[in-house]
Structures are given as structure tokens and as C-alpha cells.
Structure 1
């Protein structure tokens, strides 16, 4: 698997393909071309000074007679941890707060209305080491913990909705831990939270050691800038998870993640884009960058020798639209801010064209799924009925083939 020296698929294609071929390849890989945003010069200079990548793109929608364009700018932040995992917990959190604050300031220069950080952004992704200390010390209350208060300040200062995925310490229910995203209004008030519904049990990622599957369902938050939802990391592999956020009215679904190349990089460009198409909404895929080394070795479920890191977090954050178009991704090896201008009218326009909600047959799925979850469920499989199979005479089949249905 390529490491940090390989910047991105986009850079590779641009380097090696003639322009006519490049245009056709991008058309197939990314759908309709997104317009490059003309970002403020001061923002570009600030990003360069603070050593992170800044890209901006816009999605168009057809002009309507009875609705004005519903324009919103979202910001996706990918970053590496700032200090070694052996540094004191408070120092690690403070360093990440400072880094994010610097990036959010640039997002504000770019007119971002809603910003989302990566999964568990205030800490190293330590959820597979099997150790509880010091990693559980990164957990905070969702409603009024120090990171939430920090994000409230940013939201109010910049008139920006902030989606802050953290490790939550649930004080009201025995101090248990959840993988949670806190949604903070542009007014600075906490609107609510959502929790990671699906926990991976693959390779190093055996996160149920730390927290359980979410219990809050699929909440959608009506912000001043549109209806948003948060499908945390591994939930992107589950089509019904995306579907429920969409059914509840989400126009934009953020997918803050932490995933490594050897495990998932070939899936990454596909899943959020498929979800945008299938659910008539915008999807925002966010992944951290860098390699995180831990003091003690740990083993995984794939039989590999004990090791001290998960592999390479490959970044490549991107936004996809309900018409199947998508932005290029951020790089695989740098901190970055991706700014995307969305016209939310495109959600209804694609709904009217493709009619997935109208043709979904949800009542049939609901009836069948209600049977599937029963412990005595028997799958509907049609098999050949050998009792009524044809009799062979002289090499010729005589009679009719029967089938039985279980």
C-alpha cells in the first residue's frame, strides 16, 4: 500500500494523462465537473502559512421559477495529531484545539457556514490498543465538556455550525463511553448529539472494547443553513444507516472517519458517493491523515504480528452530490480544509428525476425485515425439487423439472 509519499489519485492522473484523456477519466470518476471556487487570497495565504491544504469547489443546480437557490458552504477538516501519543493528555488536547482553531479561522474567511471535524478529533485513534488508560482520559461530556465549550466559542465567533465528533463520557448513565458527534448551532448553543451506530470488528478496529453501538437512532438537525446528519465512520458501510438519515430529512450527511489504507482505501471513493446518489442528498466524507504510534504493542484479529500502529490514515476527504458528481479529494498526506458550496435545491431536483423515494417499496422491506429479525426466521430460498426431477431414458430428459420453495 502507498504511504505518505503518494500524494493523491488526482495528482497522479494529472501528471500522467494527456488533457483529453484526463477530462474523460474525471468525467467517469467524478461525474459532472464541479466549479473551482475563487477563495479569498488572504485565506490561501493563511493556509500556506499554517501549513495546510485549502481547496474549494461548487456544485450547481438547475434554476427554478418558484425557489431561489439554497446556497450553503460546508467545510471538511482533516488533520494529523499534533503531539506524540506519549505526551500528557491535556497537552495533546490543547495542541489539537490550537490547530483546529487556526483552520476554522481560515474556513470563516472562506464563508463556511457548517464545519465538521474528523472522528474523535481531540485524540489519537487509540481504540484498538485494548488499553483503557490513558485513552479513556480523553473522554468528555458532550453537553458542557471543555471541547464543546471551545467549539461553542468558535461557532458564535464565526456564525458557523460546528460538528464536533468526540469520545463522550455520559455522566447521566454511569459514566459510560460513546463515540459521539456534538452539533453546535451558529448561535453557540448545543443543538444535540448523535452517536456511532455501527462498531467495527475487523482487523485492528475492534472498538467495542471502548464503547457500544449508539442508542439515539438517526437524528437530523435543522440548522439555519439546512438539515444535517452525522453518520460516524463505520456506519458508511451500512446502506440502511444512510437511508434512515435521508428518510428523516437530511440534506447533508457528514461522515467523519478514521480509516487506514490497507483496510479501506479502495472503498473510500465509492461509498459516500453511492450514498449521495441513492439518498438524494449531499455526503461529506472526512478522514484523518498521518501515522499514529503507540507506546505498547497490540495484536489484531487478522493474525499479524504485534505492532504499534494501525497503518497510514490516508486523508482524501471529499464531498459528493445527489447527481453523482463529487469534488476531488484532499491529499493523502497533509492537513487540509475542503470548502464546498452546495445548492440544496439539487436534492429535490434529483429526487424528482430518479424517484428513489417514490419507488423504494419501504413497506415491503419493513415487512420482510420484521420477519428477518425473528429468531426462528427461515430465509426465502427457492430450490430444485429432486422428487419431481425428470427421468433420464437413453440420455434424453423426460418429464418436467419441479422446484420447491422454502
Structure 2
């Protein structure tokens, strides 16, 4: 298992850098107990590398390629009372961590492809995938929580899942609410027309979004092939300038990427020069300032 670290730019005396880790792993379809145990081992490895904010892949407790809603339902659990979140909360408390991880969430009779944000004191918040991909539409409900940004001890954290990253609104609405970083549990698949050896399209989209919003983006992908579907790997951490500061990881190996960042630098750096600030320069006289969303605007 490989790791990489990067120190990103100078910081002010009152701003401490934290180490972010993206864990690239391979879950086993339907084997929740084994997947959670495997994730705990990888979290412990990231802790040994000094990580304080850790991101795990999409649906990393359940696997992805369900054949039926019944199969997805059997691998689901509620947040925060299910055994997966309890296990992740215990390790977050033990190591004083913040953790973002993809989970198959059950809420009554509804299923959601979700990500949970956990801190040292327990569950902080949940994101439910807004834009469902392909047959996810057969099993999951579209996310109904919008794009929340959570104020934590380490910074302002937004979340997105996989296909959400194809929509610029995802990152823009997070930035407008003051996000320093968007953490992205994901299960990227090959895109038609992708030339041999080219980086994942998702890498390019994440770099563009980080640059155009001046935010950090941390993407944790899975690897392996599940019921004939290969996954892309290539997890990465992108700095607020849009350039990768860790990764991309390999296409086929479990890895942990790490990067040292001062998250508040993302907001400070939005003033690009004496004239331009990437969010302030939006022409809200010509288009809706919040893209039609009714969420409360934050600071930028």
C-alpha cells in the first residue's frame, strides 16, 4: 500500500495545517461486516500516517452492483444507529478524527446512497446523493437534504457522491455556503471515449471545480471489478488552485493518499488579484445568485 504527502503553501501563524487522507479500497458486495472491519484497518493505517480528516469511498460498507432493491435493502442500515456508523464513531472518538464515508442508508422504507460525516463526538451530518447514476434509480431515492456545509473543528466541510461531481452546481452551492473542502466518496467507472492511459474524467472535473470555486476537493474512489463492472481508482486530493496535491492514485490497488493543508486558505485565496474574486464576480444580475436553491447562503 502506497501513500503520498504534500505540504501546500504558506499559512498564517494562527492557522494550523491538518493532514487529509483519501482511502482507496475494495469492498466485497453485500458483506457489510467484513467491509466495515476492512475500513477500520485502513482508517488505522491512515491514523498512523497522521491523518485527522479521512475520506472513504461510496457505499464502502455494502458494495455497489446490486441486482435488486431487496439486495440493497439487506445491506442497508439507519444513520446514526446502525452498526457501521457506531463502529466508525468509535474509531473517530478514539483517535479524535473527522471521517467522511459512503454508506447504504435505510430511512424507514426508503434507501439512500449516502455519506456520513463523523467527528470525535459522533455523527455530525449526512449527505444523500442528489444525482443518481444508472440503475441506482431502481434502488435509491434521490437525495433530499440538498448540499449542506458543516462547520467543524477542522474546517467547513461539504460532501458530494460520485455523479454529483458532474454538476457544477454541487460545488458552487457548497462554496457559496462557505465550504473549505468538499469530500467526495465515489465509485468512478470508465467513461466512453476515454483513451488508454488517460486520467479519469472525474479527475478533470474535480480539478476544474476546485479552481473555479477556490475549494479543496478530496475524492476517495474504490478499486476492483464487481459483477463485471470495473472501477477506475485514481483517487486524488485537489488544492484550491485546481492542481492535485496528492494522487491520482493507481487504477487497481488499495492506497492511502495524504496531503497537509490549511483549509481556511481556500476562502482566503478567493481574492485572485486586486480586481477579481471568483465568487464575488458572478453576474447575479443576470442569473440567480443561489442557482434557484432555497438553502441559506453562507460566507465566501
TM-score computed with the length of structure 1 as normaliser: 0.66
The corresponding residue for 1:180 is 114
Query: Are the equivalent residues in 1 in contact too, given 2:147–2:174 (CA < 8 A)?
Result: yes
- 1:159-218 Cα distance to aligned partner (Å, 9 max, x none): 1011121111103xxx2111111111122x211211111112xxxx22110112111111
CA distance in structure 2 between the partners assigned to 1:269 and 1:367 by the alignment: 27
> Shift of the alpha carbon at 1:368?
11
CA RMSD of aligned residues (A): 1.9
- 1:323-366 Cα distance to aligned partner (Å, 9 max, x none): 12213311111111111111224313421114011101234211
**Greater relative contact order (Cα < 8 A, sep 6+):** 2
The corresponding residue for 1:140 is 77
Which sections of structure 1, spanning at least 5 residues, go unmatched?
1-51, 294-308, 371-406
Which sections of structure 2, spanning at least 5 residues, go unmatched?
293-300
The corresponding residue for 1:314 is 232
CA distance in structure 2 between the partners assigned to 1:250 and 1:165 by the alignment: 19
The corresponding residue for 1:272 is 206
Q: How many residues align?
A: 283
Query: Are the equivalent residues in 1 in contact too, given 2:180–2:264 (CA < 8 A)?
Result: no
CA distance in structure 2 between the partners assigned to 1:214 and 1:276 by the alignment: 23
**Larger Rg, first or second structure (1 or 2):** 1
- 1:111-151 Cα distance to aligned partner (Å, 9 max, x none): 21111110000122124x3x223232111101210101011
Q: SS state of the match for residue 4, structure 2? A: strand
Query: Are the equivalent residues in 2 in contact too, given 1:56–1:340 (CA < 8 A)?
Result: yes
The corresponding residue for 1:348 is 267
1:154 aligns with 2:154: no
CA distance in structure 1 between the partners assigned to 2:14 and 2:255 by the alignment: 31
> Shift of the alpha carbon at 1:274?
0.7
CA distance in structure 2 between the partners assigned to 1:240 and 1:280 by the alignment: 14
Selected match of 2:177 from 248, 254, 259: 248
Residues 342 and 367 of structure 1, relative CA distance in 2, 3 Å threshold: closer
The structure carrying a bigger helix percent of its residues is 1
The corresponding residue for 1:58 is 7
Q: How does 1:179-198 map to 2 (within 5 A)?
A: 179-187=113-121, 189-198=122-131
Query: Are the equivalent residues in 2 in contact too, given 1:72–1:225 (CA < 8 A)?
Result: yes
Q: SS state of the match for residue 270, structure 2? A: helix
CA distance in structure 1 between the partners assigned to 2:117 and 2:185 by the alignment: 13
Q: How does 1:5-404 map to 2 (within 5 A)?
A: 52-61=1-10, 63-64=11-12, 68-82=14-28, 85=29, 89=30, 92-127=31-66, 129=67, 131-171=68-108, 175-187=109-121, 189-200=122-133, 205-263=134-192, 266-293=200-227, 309-310=228-229, 312-326=230-244, 327-353=246-272, 354-366=276-288
Query: Are the equivalent residues in 2 in contact too, given 1:218–1:248 (CA < 8 A)?
Result: no
Q: SS state of the match for residue 286, structure 2? A: helix
Q: SS state of the match for residue 171, structure 2? A: helix
Q: SS state of the match for residue 6, structure 2? A: strand
